[in-house]
Amino acid sequence: MRRHLLSIDDLRREDIERILRLAESFAEVAGREIKKVPTLRGRTVINLFYEASTRTSSSFGIAAKRLSADVENVTAQGSSVDKGESLKDTVQTLSAYDPAAIVFRSPHAGAAALVARWTSAAVINAGDGKHEHPTQALLDLYTLRRRAGPLEGRKVWIVGDVLHSRVARSNILAFGRMGCQVTVCGPPTLIPRGVESLGCEVRYSLDDLGEADVVYALRMQHERMKGSFVPSLREYAACYQIDGRRLGSHQLLMHPGPVNRGVELAAEVIDSPQALITQQVESGVVVRMAVLYDLLAGGPAGPGGGHGARLSGEHSGEAPEPQPA
Ligand code: ASP
């Protein structure tokens, strides 16, 4: 029985299916003029971000508000973290407000699991260092399935800085769990040793990229690099950039954002109809609504009652009743 979402490893295939179904029902709400349901009325969601974010923080905020929760945003900068307060004291301070959930991002791998030990709120990992970013992986599955249909058997190539990417780790697990064949590709310096054990193949060149149904490009995570991993960005781009020549017309392109134009992706593919990048952002809201709903409202306690739900098969996964708030 789970109360948090810390890793894709926490989820069985049926849990992922349930969350994707919930997201579909929230997509219906997103299509209305009034995009709000009362599910989390009177409950508080705290977004605690210790690292930069555009998409994840804004979409969690919008998702929680569309579920009628009260949302408080706390960033390390400008908070008492600047005055030397520890993570544990910060979490305990915020927990005094009795939040239903803390959405947490940190530059440190494993930090979300620590936070989960210090609070009675549900903790959602919004990216912890190079470890995991589970809601990104869920929204990627959702986006791909909506565009391309069933995921089973799809060939997904994840290209770029796999070593420093939490998105790569979560996506290898998530695509694998849904029956996709995952290949990671990049220069040997940016592929973690033993990554095959997560359930993927490894390639060091784009020669066979044509076999992929989906090309998932990653940014160079300079903020986590100590030292230099490629001779130069120009050389890196020459060998690994996805451009109009390398992306076949039958292939779909994904990227978690932010894109460094001209490095991992050429402008012509970013703006091509094969790119799902904007759809990924759009999916972020409904998938994060689904995760919040699943953790906070879907369980035995139900809407309005206690810290109810769980991410591992506790309830039917029936669509929420989408009444206006
Ligand atoms: N936005 C994603 C993350 O936070 C990917 C990236 O930053 O490149 O991990």
One-letter amino acid for residue 39 of the chain: T
Task: State the pLDDT at residue 83.
Answer: 81
For residue 40, give both structure tokens: 């989390």
To which residue do tokens 């460094």 refer? 260
CATH 3.40.50.1370 fits 8-133+283-296, yes or no: yes
Best of 47, 55, 131, 133 to mutate for ligand 1, by most ligand atoms within 8 A of CB? 133
Task: State the pLDDT at residue 325.
Answer: 47
Domain 135-279 adopts which CATH fold?
Rossmann fold (3.40.50)
* Sequence spans of domains, the chain: 8-133+283-296, 135-279
Task: State the pLDDT at residue 231.
Answer: 87
Domains 8-133+283-296 and 135-279 agree in fold: yes
Quote the ligand 1 centre to 219 CA distance (angstroms).
8
CB 310 within 8 A of CB 29: no
Best of 60, 106, 165 to mutate for ligand 1, by most ligand atoms within 8 A of CB? 165
For residue 130, give both structure tokens: 């190079």
Best of 56, 167, 190 to mutate for ligand 1, by most ligand atoms within 8 A of CB? 167
The helix (H) or strand (E) run that includes residue 240 is helix 233-240
Task: State the pLDDT at residue 211.
Answer: 98
Q: Is 220 exposed, middle or buried (0-12, 13-18, 19+ CB in 10 A)?
A: buried
Instruction: List 75's β-bridge partners, or say none.
Output: 49
Give backbone dihedrals phi and psi of 103, rounded to 5 degrees, phi first: -95, 120
Task: State the pLDDT at residue 227.
Answer: 82
To which residue do tokens 């003029």 refer? 33
The ligand 1 site (C-beta within 6 Å) comprises 127, 133, 166-167, 219, 221, 256-257
Task: State the pLDDT at residue 134.
Answer: 98
Task: State the pLDDT at residue 40.
Answer: 97
Residue whose CA lies nearest to ligand 1 atom number 8? 219
Give backbone dihedrals phi and psi of 5, rounded to 5 degrees, phi first: -120, 100
Q: Which tens digits make up the pLDDT trace of 2-24?
A: 699 999 999 999 999 999 999 99
What pTM, to 2 d.p., does this model score?
0.92
Q: Which residues of the chain have pLDDT under 70?
A: 1-2, 299-325
Q: Which atom of ligand 1 is nearest to the CA of 219?
A: 8
Among 170, 174, 191, 169, smallest CA distance to 240 is for: 191
Task: State the pLDDT at residue 321.
Answer: 54
Quote the ligand 1 centre to 228 CA distance (angstroms).
19
